[in-house]
């Protein structure tokens, strides 16, 4: 079955905003086993499973990859760049960036990307499609080489734009569909300070609206409840791995629900259940005694987009202050719940 035939209407309507005429050639790549496995992984890095978070919309890693590909296609109509966007998270394991935490990669959160090339080259289906389309693996296995697909923070890329829009619309409900359409219609391809292509805005007003939303999202991505949840999931998985209940390979093969079932049938079920039903985390300047606590910095995701030839921070004092307030978020507290391993 074509994956798009079973995508729910909200996600499908969102895809149509990004690209009204879906590129049919992309479907063969989407419907490969390696891509379809991503439909069972939430972009929320596992946080969707706890009452600490208001999000209950399952937008999958596959949905994200398709949406990034649609944005790239919309602005470039280049198959290689579009496929690099589709494949950029093909190596994502269950709980997404939680596994970066497991690997000790709290800040860059790129540790799982190392497997991208291997997964592509090991796929008979993908390799056959690439051969058919006369495309080399090296032209699609690293989206960092295409600045419209990806670039360095705080620039705006298709990847950064996509997770901002989908999280604002569906996960945290900060914007309505009409807002997404308004923002997307204002996006254009510009050139940055070094003459490199970059997505940016036509108008200061819409750029400021976008930054207001992404600044709120940026805090959500690293606030106390998020850092605690991601580290807790990572540590539970690490314990299960050390006890040979789950292998690292399992994390790339199983559905998230499969791993949750294993956790709930393990000695860590009570820990998981407390986190699952928690309504708020606790914080302390001092390390709390007798409980599992988390204190760490994590990746700072923020966007300072171009408006024509200028960064929004240079031409709008209000937006500049939004960015400063976002970057000043305090991550120095210990975060905990009343649980221990």
Residues 6+ away with beta carbon under 8 Å from 103: 111, 112
What confidence score (pLDDT) does residue 99 get?
A: 73
- Whether residue 188 contacts residue 141, with contact meaning beta carbons closer than 8 Å, is answered with no
Distance of CA 4 to the CA centre of its chain: 20
Residues 131-159, buried b or exposed e (16+ Cβ, 10 A)? eeeeeeeebbbbbeebbbbbbeebbbbbb
User: What pTM was computed for the model?
Assistant: 0.94
Distance of CA 275 to the CA centre of its chain: 22
What confidence score (pLDDT) does residue 103 get?
A: 64
- Whether residue 93 contacts residue 252, with contact meaning beta carbons closer than 8 Å, is answered with yes
- Whether residue 4 contacts residue 28, with contact meaning beta carbons closer than 8 Å, is answered with no
**What is the CATH code of the structural domain delimited by 1-341?**
1.10.3210.10
Q: 260: part of which helix (H) or strand (E)?
A: helix 256-264
- Tell me the C-alpha distance between 101 and 105, whole Å: 5
Q: 207: part of which helix (H) or strand (E)?
A: helix 204-222
Tokens of 228: 């605690």
Determine the Cα angle at 135 with ends 134 and 140, to 5°: 170
Tokens of 99: 């596994």
* Tally of CB atoms within 10 A around 115: 15
What confidence score (pLDDT) does residue 107 get?
A: 45
- Tell me the C-alpha distance between 182 and 213, whole Å: 13
The H-assigned helical ranges of 116-203 are: 116-122, 124-132, 158-166, 177-185
What confidence score (pLDDT) does residue 106 get?
A: 46
Residue count (the chain): 341
CA nearest 65: which of 162, 139, 161? 162
For the chain, residues with pLDDT lower than 70 are 1, 100-113
- Tell me the C-alpha distance between 119 and 96, whole Å: 16
What confidence score (pLDDT) does residue 105 get?
A: 52
Output the CA–CA distances (angstroms, integers) from residue 196 to 42, 199, 238, in the order listed: 32, 10, 41
Residues 6+ away with beta carbon under 8 Å from 185: none
């Amino acid at each position: 079955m074509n994956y798009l035939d079973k995508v729910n209407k909200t996600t499908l309507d969102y895809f149509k905003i990004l690209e009204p005429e879906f590129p049919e050639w992309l479907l063969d790549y989407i419907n490969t086993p390696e891509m379809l496995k991503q439909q069972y992984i939430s972009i929320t890095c596992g946080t969707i499973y706890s009452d600490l978070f208001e999000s209950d919309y399952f937008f999958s890693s596959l949905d994200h990859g398709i949406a990034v590909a649609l944005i790239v296609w919309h602005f470039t109509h280049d198959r290689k760049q579009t496929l690099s966007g589709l494949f950029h998270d093909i190596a994502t394991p269950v709980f997404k960036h939680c596994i970066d935490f497991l690997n000790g990669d709290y800040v860059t959160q790129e540790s799982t990307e190392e497997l991208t090339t291997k997964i592509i080259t090991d796929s008979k289906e993908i390799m056959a499609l690439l051969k058919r389309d006369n495309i080399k693996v090296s032209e699609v296995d690293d989206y960092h080489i295409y600045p419209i697909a990806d670039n360095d923070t705080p620039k705006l890329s298709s990847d950064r734009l996509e997770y901002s829009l989908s999280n604002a619309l569906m996960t945290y409900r900060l914007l309505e569909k009409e807002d997404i359409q308004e923002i997307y219609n204002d996006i254009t391809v510009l050139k940055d300070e070094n003459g490199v292509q970059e997505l940016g805005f036509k108008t200061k007003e819409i750029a400021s609206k976008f930054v207001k939303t992404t600044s709120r999202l940026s805090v959500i991505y690293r606030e106390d409840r998020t850092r605690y949840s991601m580290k807790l999931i990572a540590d539970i998985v690490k314990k299960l791995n050390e006890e040979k209940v789950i292998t690292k390979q399992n994390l790339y093969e199983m559905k998230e629900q499969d791993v949750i079932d294993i956790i709930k049938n393990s000695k860590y079920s009570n820990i998981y259940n407390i986190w699952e039903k928690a309504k708020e985390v606790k914080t302390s300047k001092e390390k709390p005694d007798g409980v599992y606590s988390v204190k760490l910095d994590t990746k700072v995701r923020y966007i300072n987009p171009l408006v024509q030839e200028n960064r929004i921070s240079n031409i709008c004092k209000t937006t500049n202050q939004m960015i400063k307030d976002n970057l000043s978020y305090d991550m120095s507290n210990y975060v905990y719940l009343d649980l221990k391993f």
